[in-house]
Structure 1
Amino acid sequence: MTVLQTKDLTKRFGKFTALNQVNIDVNEGEVYGFIGPNGAGKSTAIRVLLGILKATSGEARIFGMDAWKDAVTIHKRTAYVLGDVHLWPNLSGGEVIDLFIQLRGGVKNNRKEELIQRFDLDPSKKCRTYSKGNRQKVALIAAFSSEADLYILDEPTSGLDPLMEQVFQSCVMEAKAAGKSVILSSHILSEVEKLCDHVGIIRQGEIIESGSLREMRHLTRTNLLVETKQPIPDLEKQIGVHEIEKEGVEVTFQVDTENLDQIIQYVSTFGITKLESAPPTLEDLFMRHYEGK
């Protein structure tokens, strides 16, 4: 069952086209990764879906209803977390969470206390004392405490430490298991890889690639930093190796995921003394694939 669908969604601000014929489909119980570099149009698309902005042309439907005309009804079944949360400074975190829950008509489950513990939040502190990460926790706790059918998450882990990112990821998977749908806007590829069933990549307001992660496997590369006892010959000739940079005895490069095993075996024959790996950000991928094109 389709929960969210856009058809040729276009949004212009004067002569500037922020969204150009964007097509998104999100089904029930599915996590959709909406990804791209900063300024690509992710937040604009989300504001149209939330009924904050009116599309210039095309359509956006959520639960079969028009995202602009039926926004109030849609919001009753939708939870939203943005990437830079601003809270009332003189209220405590707990008061803000309660306020959000009451605005949604109250929640009969007991998830609030459980989530406060899982996210390690002190709800008694005033919001003006909270770090950015703690402000994100308040928004996430309020969202996941609600009985929403659709979660729209726009850079939701901004400011969270790695441990809290894991808690967030668990909450997303629990929502999915309960048949809820999630749109996750992010520029962190590793987060998307862990959570998302389908992915849409947006650049300069256009969806340039979309599909399942399996279909988009060619986009995943690992960044390697290697130091060896002997220089590595012919590295640039190895299949799956890209973006080689040398600095003294250290070599950094990218490896396609499907070639990682053979490249590690090849490099190890020259005596590895140091090896670091990291997943690429989507900015890396966009610079590689689309700069100057």
Structure 2
Amino acid sequence: MIYIKSLHKYYGNKQVLKDINLVFNPGEVHGVVGENGAGKTTLFRSISGMENYKGTIDYTGGNIKNSMGFLPTDPYFLSKITGKEYLQLLCNARNIEITDFKEKNIFDLPLQQYAETYSTGMKKKLALTGILLQKNDIFILDEPFNGVDIHSNTIINQVLFKLKELNKIVVLSSHIFSTLYETCDYLHYLKNGSIVKSADKSEFGIIEKEMQASGIGIKIDKLNL
């Protein structure tokens, strides 16, 4: 279980996260939604230990870094490292021994090719495969569906269902509400750095309508269409 209490984050004098309080339980999939710049990535990086913050993030399973797989929006890869070598590197970090990566290649990626030559979607699928092979207990996924083809989206959906079945903690962001409806148990609406509403599946529609009504009509009217 992850407890986030009174989480605040500042960049200089600018506050980007304001009094975030959340609880993530094993076997639950949580979605975090909000406009670009709302603070979703900063929240994920804070949970993953990649940002300093004020407040507390407690994980009942021990050191959260040893149990977490973080999928960034734009995964970074070292120059001249193949897909296979990247997967081997991530497995070595968790002392996971895998002799045949070909059978683990669920997205049919060209593992002998340099990862830096992959398309945006392929890079995301390689990074996701890597953290899955690590057998983590926590998965923080920043826009896992972004830039990924329809077939791979289906695979990712099924992976999320499997992680839930395995009692993992999953937190993800997405701008695609249909995938959130299908995969998430809870949604948290992040606006201007604050959680303005949290809802279970029965109230997802309320959050979607609130986001749609949040100044969108005014912005469209400015076009004078």
How high is the TM-score relative to the length of structure 2? 0.88
Residue equivalent to 2:22: 24
The CA distance in 2 between the partners of 1:290 and 1:75, in whole Å, is: 43
Q: Percent identity?
A: 28
1:84–1:158 CA contact under 8 A, matched in 2: no
- Pair 1:195 & 2:183 matched: yes
2:197–2:207 CA contact under 8 A, matched in 1: no
The CA distance in 2 between the partners of 1:41 and 1:208, in whole Å, is: 13
The aligned runs of 1:181-220 (5 Å cut-off) are: 181-220=169-208
Residue equivalent to 1:63: 60
Note closer, same or farther for the CA distance 1:62–1:109 as it changes in structure 2 (3 Å cut).
farther
Number of equivalences: 219
Equivalent of residue 144 in structure 2, options 152, 156, 169: 156
Specify the SS of the correspondent of 2:20: strand
Note closer, same or farther for the CA distance 1:148–1:109 as it changes in structure 2 (3 Å cut).
farther
Equivalent of residue 53 in structure 1, options 28, 36, 51: 51
Cα deviation code 1:224-273 (max 9, x no counterpart):
xxxxxxxxxxxxxxxxxxxxxxxxxxxxxxxxxxxxxxxxxxxxxxxxxx
The aligned runs of 1:67-216 (5 Å cut-off) are: 73-107=63-97, 112-116=101-105, 118-216=106-204
> Tell me, which stretches of 5 or more residues in structure 2 are unaligned?
220-225
2:26 is matched by which residue type in structure 1?
E
Note closer, same or farther for the CA distance 1:166–1:285 as it changes in structure 2 (3 Å cut).
farther
The CA distance in 2 between the partners of 1:289 and 1:44, in whole Å, is: 28
RMSD: 2.3
Q: Which has the higher contact order (CA 8 A, sep 6+)?
A: 2
The CA distance in 1 between the partners of 2:145 and 2:58, in whole Å, is: 26
Question: Cα offset for 1:283?
Answer: 6.2
The CA distance in 1 between the partners of 2:48 and 2:208, in whole Å, is: 31
Runs of 4+ in structure 1 over 4 Å off: 107-110, 288-291
Specify the SS of the correspondent of 1:200: strand
1:107–1:146 CA contact under 8 A, matched in 2: no
2:124 is matched by which residue type in structure 1?
Q
Specify the SS of the correspondent of 1:37: coil
> Tell me, which stretches of 5 or more residues in structure 1 are unaligned?
66-72, 222-281
Residue equivalent to 1:278: none
Question: Cα offset for 1:203?
Answer: 0.7
1:144–1:171 CA contact under 8 A, matched in 2: no
Equivalent of residue 39 in structure 1, options 37, 40, 44: 37
1:42–1:185 CA contact under 8 A, matched in 2: yes
Note closer, same or farther for the CA distance 1:64–1:179 as it changes in structure 2 (3 Å cut).
closer
Note closer, same or farther for the CA distance 1:145–1:203 as it changes in structure 2 (3 Å cut).
same
Greater Rg by CA: 1
Question: Cα offset for 1:290?
Answer: 10
